[in-house]
Structures are given as structure tokens and as C-alpha cells.
A and B are shown apart, each in its own frame.
Chain A
């Protein structure tokens, strides 16, 4: 029986840039940063209060996973902001919005009251978008 999720993948355009974004701007911790050979890097980060969920920052490389054309298409789709890979949570949406904005994170929607709660939307350095909500008090 499935008990929990322990890995999830986010496709990124550049792993060095993604490392800087997720670690230095979002405040995530590096779980594993392993070289699997020349040009092959396994990089995972974890949110501050979920050290057992590894978010894999996956490069979009031509190879077994993507043929050349598919890799180019995938990079374009990521750059255009096609993918929303998840919803993050914080303790205080207004404070987190101010802090991340001060650090240069691009928000496409400021904290807004929706029928389901308060939400903001931001993009990572590749173009992927995420919802950011406030934990229920």
C-alpha cells in the first residue's frame, strides 16, 4: 500500500541557476548533489519542514529521456511557463511575499483572497509556476 511521496521532479533549464534559486531565494536545503558522470547531475532539494521529500531539479538534456527535438520542445514549454509543478505552503503569505519579492522572485499574482483561501503565484528561474498558500491557522 502506498504510504507517502518521497520524490518529485521539476524540469529546469539550468541546474546551477536552479540551485541558486531554490536554495538561496526559496530557502530550500540541498539533499543530494551527485555527479553521475560528465554532464550528468542528480540534484535534489528539500523544503525546510519536509526533509523527507526530495525535489529533483532535472535537466532537460538530449539523451535517453528526450530526443533532440523533444528536448528543445520541452525547454520551450518550460520557458513559456507551461508547467505548474505544485503548491507550496507558508506560515504567513504577506511576509513570505515581501521577502521573496525582495530577493528577486517574480510573482505573477500577489497575495489574493480566493474562495479557497489566500494565494499568490510565483515563477522559478526557469519559468515554472507555483501556487503559494498560507497554512490554515
Chain B
């Protein structure tokens, strides 16, 4: 592996990361991801971790949680968010979400929907007044 030009190796790992970004909701596993990068599993995990500070599996989980948050913000049920992003158990998803985000999916959604309602009803609460005045948005 050390005989390959460094940038070529980077391109392959990035390709695997982009594969995770695109296919996160599918039942992908490390073998799929390592194959995508044309590496052995051992070398792939080592190189991925050195670049992204996380294993490919940890990164996949991060991507799934991030997308679940987006779905919850859009009003999806917890079940729909869970299954849509590739988790197969609501209880596992809820536990993992709470460990990563600090609150349950339901509590997260409630806070986000409340904020969204406030942004619509009182948008000026979220804009520094200097910008409102400079742009004439208070007229």
C-alpha cells in the first residue's frame, strides 16, 4: 500500500466516505465499504480512522443519526426516522440517539418543532437587531 501515491490512497478513502454518505440507509457493512475503496478491511479501517478520527462504522452511525435528526425536524415519527436511516430497532435507535445527542428522539423533535414555530411567528427573535435596522426589515 505504501507504494501507491498518497493522493491516490486519499481518493479511495474519500470514495468510501462518499459511498457511506450516499448509501447510509441501506444495510451496508464494512466489507461493502472496504470493497468500495479497494482496500483490505484492516488497511481501510486504519487509513479511514487516521483521516476522519473515527472508524467507518462509527462514521456510518454518525451519518444515520444526522439524517434521523433531519427527518425528525421535518415531523417524521420516531419509527419512520429510525427505519428510514437504516436502523432496525426502535429501542436501539432511541438509546443510541440519546447517547449521541443527549436527548431522546421525541424530545429532540419537540424542541425543534417548537423552535421552527417560533421562527415563523417571531422571526425577529432570531436576527440581531442591527441587521434588522440596517436592512430596513422593521418597516
Which positions in A face B, CB cutoff 8 Å? 7, 32-37, 40, 42, 56, 61, 63-65, 91-92, 94-95, 98-99, 102
Contacts and interface: CB of A to CB of B under 8 A. Distances in A.
B131 A56 contact: yes
B134 A65 contact: yes
Contacts, number: 60
A36 B6 contact: no
A47 B49 CA distance: 21
A32 B119 contact: yes
Contacts of B18: 99, 102
Interface residues of B, number: 25
B30 interface: no
A36 B126 CA distance: 10
A92 B17 CA distance: 14
B126 A32 contact: yes
4 A-B pairs with least C-beta separation: A64-B136, A34-B123, A98-B14, A36-B137
B136 A63 contact: yes
Interface in B1-25: 6-7, 10-11, 13-15, 17-18
Given A63-B136, A99-B14, A91 B53 contact: yes
Nearest to A6: B128
A36 B17 contact: no
